[in-house]
Amino acid sequence: MNEDVLNQIKWNDAGLVPAIAQEHDTGKVLMLAWMNREALALTLAEKRAIYWSRSRQKLWRKGEESGHVQMLKEIRIDCDCDVVLMQVEQIGGIACHTGRHNCFYKRLDAGNWVDVDPILKDASEIYGEVGQ
């Protein structure tokens, strides 16, 4: 791993950078998560999305429990070098822990957030009763 690649990222005060996962063939935004240096380095090395879980305070290999892995096709950073954009192949067609295709399934409609995308697979079938 070329350290210059990691050094060019503008990490926030917590040592993190937001990472957007976008479906490579449709352009649809699947999710946003966070990466630390190690997560980004491993993502580049393994060619699959690996994030930093802020709630669990540990590395999170997308799909490690669900099987819904994100295979890296291309990676970019924005003009300020403070956001990562990954073009991914979403294995299994489900990116969201709720069992939906993507995490952006709530739309503002007449002042209320409304679920507009279907659940493709019940989360309990993906993670078991406890794993959500």
Residue 66: CATH number of its domain = 3.10.20.810
For residue 65, what are the domain limits? Answer: 3-95
State the pLDDT at residue 2.
Answer: 79
The residues, ordered by sequence, that sit 6+ positions from 34 with a Cβ below 8 Å of its Cβ are 16, 17, 18, 19, 51, 52, 54
Is residue 52 situated within a structural domain?
A: yes
pLDDT single digits (tens) 7-49: 999 999 999 999 999 999 999 999 999 999 999 999 999 999 9
pLDDT at position 131 over 50: no
pLDDT band of residue 132 (cuts 50, 70, 90) is very low
What global pTM score does this model have? Answer: 0.91
71-82 confidence digits (pLDDT tens): 999 999 999 999
- Residue 120: inside a domain: no
* 116 within domain boundaries: no
